[in-house]
């Protein structure tokens, strides 16, 4: 077992599993840590805990220190430089006739690397753009083509539930979401209801999908002909949460029955 903390970098939303380096680190504390890309700043989202060594990549990078006033000033200055670099990148992209919709730009803490994120419907050859930016800023440049879900994760916003987007608050990875999940939960297949602000299927469709799949095992499928105490009939509706199903008996009308008993 090894002691680690989890740190989130605000600009990229990336999570880092780090050695606490014998520092007293509380949730919410802002810290400086080392990475292969140089020094980064981030926020503790999970305090020190013990983790199996098999679950992390060793050796762990270390938290160097808690942030101080000088660090905050440096981060503010970096943000100003990144804003200017973003405007230059947009200008150069237009000059080079590149189809790029820039989302953001940020400098790592020590100012040694400049990161850009952009959207595009096609594969973009941005080598000439990197040369122009590197010549002007004299540092390593990295351009990342992202998808619309990644943009929502970076920009944030409110979901149809009225809460802040899951991807912008706690999701670290995008799991696969399919239209079958909406069907499995008996949801109306209305894009305005099952799509997020990114235009893709809601990530939350996957949260309860396994539960619905398990609950439906106690119920017959809609359209099946079933044998009931009232005779044979066709299943026309099911209520997964109430564990009931409705059967149409023709002239006798529609009757409701309880599904099989669920395990507690």
Q: Residue 46, CB half-sphere, CA atoms under 13 Å: how many?
A: 13
Assign 22 to helix, strand or coil.
coil
Beta bridge partners of 241: none
- Identify the pLDDT of residue 205: 93
Q: Confidence class of residue 83 from pLDDT cuts 50, 70 and 90?
A: very high
- Identify the pLDDT of residue 143: 94
Summarize pLDDT for 180-214 with one digit per residue, the tens.
999 999 888 999 889 999 999 999 999 999 999 99
CB-CB contact of 171 with 195 (8 Å): no
- Identify the pLDDT of residue 15: 86
Question: Once rounded to an integer, what is the mean pLDDT over residues 151-159?
Answer: 87
CB-CB contact of 206 with 196 (8 Å): no
Per mean pLDDT, which range of 30-39, 67-76, 109-118, 127-136 is the poorest?
30-39
- Identify the pLDDT of residue 102: 95
Q: Confidence class of residue 263 from pLDDT cuts 50, 70 and 90?
A: low
What residue ranges do the domains of the chain occupy?
Answer: 2-67, 72-146, 151-207, 219-258
**Is residue 100's pLDDT more than 70?**
yes
**Is residue 250's pLDDT more than 90?**
no
**Is residue 142's pLDDT more than 90?**
yes
**DSSP code at position 56:** S
Tell the CATH topology of 72-146.
GMP Synthetase; Chain A, domain 3 (3.30.300)
Neighbours of 131 (CB within 10 A): 12
Question: Once rounded to an integer, what is the mean pLDDT over residues 129-146?
Answer: 93
Query: pTM, whole model, 2 decimals?
Result: 0.72
Residue 35's contacts (CB-CB under 8 Å, 6 or more residues apart) are 16, 61, 108
């Amino acid at each position: 077992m090894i002691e680690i903390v989890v740190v989130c970098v605000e600009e990229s939303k990336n999570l880092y599993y780090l050695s606490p380096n014998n520092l007293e680190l509380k949730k919410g504390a802002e810290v400086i840590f080392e990475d292969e890309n140089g020094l980064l700043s981030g926020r503790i989202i999970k305090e020190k805990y013990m983790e199996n060594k098999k679950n992390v990549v060793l050796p762990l990078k270390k938290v160097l220190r808690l942030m101080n006033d000088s660090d905050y000033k440096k981060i503010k200055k970096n943000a100003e430089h990144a804003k200017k670099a973003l405007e230059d990148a947009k200008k150069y992209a237009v000059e080079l006739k590149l189809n790029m919709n820039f989302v953001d730009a940020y400098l790592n803490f020590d100012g040694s690397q400049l990161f850009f994120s952009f959207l595009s419907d096609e594969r973009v050859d941005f080598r000439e753009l990197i040369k122009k930016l590197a010549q002007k800023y004299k540092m390593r440049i990295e351009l990342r083509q992202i998808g619309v879900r990644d943009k929502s994760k970076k920009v944030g916003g409110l979901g149809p539930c009225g809460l802040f987007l899951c991807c912008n608050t706690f999701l670290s990875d995008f799991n696969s979401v399919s239209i079958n999940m909406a069907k499995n939960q008996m949801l109306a297949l209305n894009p305005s209801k099952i799509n997020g602000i990114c235009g893709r299927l809601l990530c939350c469709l996957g949260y309860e999908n396994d539960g619905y799949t398990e609950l439906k095992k106690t119920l017959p499928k809609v359209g099946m002909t079933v044998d009931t105490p009232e005779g044979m009939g066709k299943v026309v509706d099911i209520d997964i949460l109430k564990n009931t199903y409705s059967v149409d008996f023709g002239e006798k009308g529609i009757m409701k029955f309880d599904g099989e008993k669920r395990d507690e």
